[in-house]
Structure 1
């Protein structure tokens, strides 16, 4: 809650600075006034203008242009950084949820090696590999058109082939490796979630509309960044569902023992 308040304060401050700069008084225009002896009100406005000029200039357009150029000219580096940071943040959130109630400090609760593994998984597969899949292989197979038929084919191929046969299995195998389980444990967990927890239906409910936007209106060089943004919230949803399932199983086990 405190972090949200701080973020809101920062956003409001930036907004006020932008509004203030948009209404700055131009001294050149004041100098052209027919009044040779400015009034006290004019002098007050000039002093305020000088004070506003002391504030740092917020050139968001230049910053966005630099970011846009980075994604265009260095797509694999941008994909790795974006998805690596996203995976790290998602894992830190998951670790903080898992360690609730522990008496250890926050720094002691964080598993650095696990977080580093998520960074590598996010950067290498979700970033670089998916950039190659969606921006190199897909255009080669289906073209670059974004009409309704072309988008539908790309989304269908992603949902029916890439996701169930590549994306989701890699995620489960990576998770099993990070948690010290065998690859067979990972595949069995994936099979169980497919057949018992309607994993694909939950997946499609989020990613069919997302990928429809990805292949229709999102610029090619920003696709991975857009997917990473949605993926972060998807991981939160999955984590919540998994936590609810675990609590339900523990409650059922307690009832059986009682």
Structure 2
């Protein structure tokens, strides 16, 4: 396929998969449970953090996180007690354990108390053509609180060569605005044009088969390569193609 044919094919797949039905099998359903901005942000951030492995298990454990916070994530973050933190120590999702959950609650409180919230931190460090430096700066600020070293691995750093799949997915949820009702689009200070595709094994394999990606590893260099190609297809909303690449890989075995 030439570039025009690839664009037409992927545009059709975006229309097919970027629909409200997508929500019921995706972790994005968790922030959709809430209406307050801060609740949506925190629910989305925590759900994206554990978004690796079996999707049903991700969704189940993300719901469990919300239950442990009394289904009031912002209130829990800002006014939790030590007893509350002890109650969440039982949480486990693969290598993300209760102690990590507890540190994340403290990190989020630090972000809201001292840095005007999640949107403000990500928006402050955005560059003209990418959010990857912003993700790295966010991680530094997030871990200014006392924490165990092991917890740092649960937020990727693009400056260390990571594709930062989960944070890029989270930014899609928060920043991308369309009329399909899937992405929440509550952050207005970051343009969707700056977003990167959440690169994983599914989207990476499909991108290679379509000639959008030559690098074999799903790392930061591969993400930069894919970014360039997707921005050529749609400079204003390149990350919409995540729906096409992911849908083709997961649902169609392309």
The TM-score normalised by the length of structure 2 is 0.27
The TM-score normalised by the length of structure 1 is 0.27
| Bigger helix fraction | 1
- Which has more radius of gyration? 1
